Amino acid sequence: MATQTPTPVSTAADAVEPAAGRLPRWAPWACFAGAAAVAAGLELLGDFNIALFVVYAVVLGTLALYLASRVTEGRRKATDRLVTAVVTSAFGIAMVPLVALVWEVVGRGIVRFDGEFFGSSLVGIIGEGGGAYHAIFGTLIITALTTLISVPIGLMTAIYLVEYARGRLKRAITFFVDVMTGIPSIVAGLFAYALFVLFFGPGVRLGIMGAVALSVLMIPVVVRSAEEVLKLVPNELREAAYALGVPKWRTIVKVVIPTAIAGLGTGVTLAIARVVGETAPLLVTVGITNATNFDPFDGRMATLPVYAYYQLTQPGVPPEYAIDRAWTAALLLIMLVMGLNVVARLISRFFAPKTGR
């Protein structure tokens, strides 16, 4: 291994500190290329396994680089190179599932990413064709309802916590909001189901039930993000408004909220992204249907996550068409979440207080 990292040309001045040389810039690449070659050789002895090959190459390359650096550059520099290699590897490991997931979902989902998928429901579909028109609209309607319920409650709670509450009550609310953040989503679903069963009897399935269940999950997220953003509004601005003889509620409405609007918008958008892909609560509250239902107050609705779940677990015969539809639904969900994240960034860019001269 050491042969691949030529010892640097030592000058007379180096005599005092023999290990004060420097590896050339291409040394790390050379180390890892050499390690890759050795790993390939090792692999050829047995069966070729891509994962094992990468592991061998990274471990051997790191070792080689460390040793080479230790010999030529000294201990401090060698440690630096070792830690750099370890941190970079950790980043690589973290990226593996993300890249693999996107790769897989895009590759499989693209098959049915066509007009029919967006244009038709599953009514009368056995096997080929069909789409998720009903599920797309179901998801949009239920998410919109959830937002409609959660945003006013969440924002007002946050305003209360930041501007008005103090002492024990404030601590209690903050504590319960924290607890709510950690509620398992199926529990939220069962809560909404139990609530509606009280009024409509067992077996009830309504779109609004799903919205209520998702609100239980979304409200604490909105509260926490809005609270953080409102706390960031400088107290000086509130005092400036008070000193002008502006009442407190007007100060909040006209000064605090406009100053924080970018952060509030971002928080709400990310909270929507958080609930748009929830499956379990919708499974027990909204159910699934093959037909299009735009009325969240009347009967079952289809939603993208539940649609994907049923297409995958109950694909029918032959199964491959339904499984393709499930992948496309998954792809659509990922795109929705990504889109919402982009929207959140745009909001924070365009609504941020301007400081231009």
Partner 1 sequence: MAKRIDVSDLNIYYGNFLAVEGVNVSIEPRSITALIGPSGCGKSTFLRTLNRMHEVIPGARVEGKVVMDGHDLYGADADPVDVRRQIGMVFQRPNPFPTMSIYENVAAGMRLNARRMKKSDLDELVERSLRGANLWEEVKDRLDRPGSGLSGGQQQRLCIARAIAVEPDVLLMDEPCSALDPISTLAIEDLMTELKERYTIVIVTHNMQQAARVSESTGFFNLNGVGQPGRLIEFNPTEKIFSNPDQKATEDYISGRFG
Q: Is 168 in the site for partner 1 (CB under 8 A)?
A: no
Which of 132, 226, 255, 268 binds partner 1 (CB under 8 A)? It is 255
Q: Is 356 in the site for partner 1 (CB under 8 A)?
A: yes
Give the count of residues interacting with partner 1 (CB under 8 A). Answer: 26
Q: Is 237 in the site for partner 1 (CB under 8 A)?
A: yes
Work out how close the CB of 350 gets to partner 1 at its nearest, in angstroms, rounded to a whole number: 13
Q: Is 264 in the site for partner 1 (CB under 8 A)?
A: no
Q: Is 159 in the site for partner 1 (CB under 8 A)?
A: no
Tokens of 156: 């007002």
Kindly indicate which of the ranges 28-36, 257-265, 281-289, 308-316 contains the residues binding partner 1, using the contact rule CB under 8 A: 257-265
Tell me how far apart the alpha carbons of residues 55 and 22 are, in angstroms, rounded to a whole number: 27
Q: Which of residues 6-45 bind partner 1 (CB under 8 A)?
A: none
Work out how close the CB of 228 gets to partner 1 at its nearest, in angstroms, rounded to a whole number: 18
Q: Is 319 in the site for partner 1 (CB under 8 A)?
A: no
Q: Name the residue nearer to partner 1 (CB basis): 18 or 247.
A: 247
Which of 127, 184, 247, 316 binds partner 1 (CB under 8 A)? It is 247
Which of 146, 259, 303, 328 binds partner 1 (CB under 8 A)? It is 259
Tell me how far apart the alpha carbons of residues 195 and 266 are, in angstroms, rounded to a whole number: 31
Q: Is 353 in the site for partner 1 (CB under 8 A)?
A: yes
Q: Is 338 in the site for partner 1 (CB under 8 A)?
A: no
Which of 250, 291, 314, 338 binds partner 1 (CB under 8 A)? It is 250
Kindly indicate which of the ranges 18-26, 67-75, 117-125, 240-248 contains the residues binding partner 1, using the contact rule CB under 8 A: 240-248
Q: Is 161 in the site for partner 1 (CB under 8 A)?
A: no
Tokens of 192: 């909404």
Q: Is 241 in the site for partner 1 (CB under 8 A)?
A: yes
Tell me how far apart the alpha carbons of residues 271 and 265 are, in angstroms, rounded to a whole number: 10
Which of 129, 258, 315, 319 binds partner 1 (CB under 8 A)? It is 258
Instruction: Note the residue count of the chain.
Output: 357
Q: Name the residue nearer to partner 1 (CB basis): 167 or 203.
A: 167
Q: Is 354 in the site for partner 1 (CB under 8 A)?
A: yes
Tell me how far apart the alpha carbons of residues 285 and 205 are, in angstroms, rounded to a whole number: 5
Kindly indicate which of the ranges 50-58, 233-241, 273-281, 283-291 contains the residues binding partner 1, using the contact rule CB under 8 A: 233-241
Q: Name the residue nearer to partner 1 (CB basis): 119 or 247.
A: 247
Work out how close the CB of 161 gets to partner 1 at its nearest, in angstroms, rounded to a whole number: 14
Q: Is 240 in the site for partner 1 (CB under 8 A)?
A: yes
304 with 269: CB under 8 angstroms?
A: no
What are the helix (H) ranges across 110-203?
115-119, 133-159, 167-181, 185-200
Residues that bind partner 1 in the complex, under the rule CB under 8 A: 166, 234, 236-247, 250-251, 254-255, 258-259, 261, 353-357
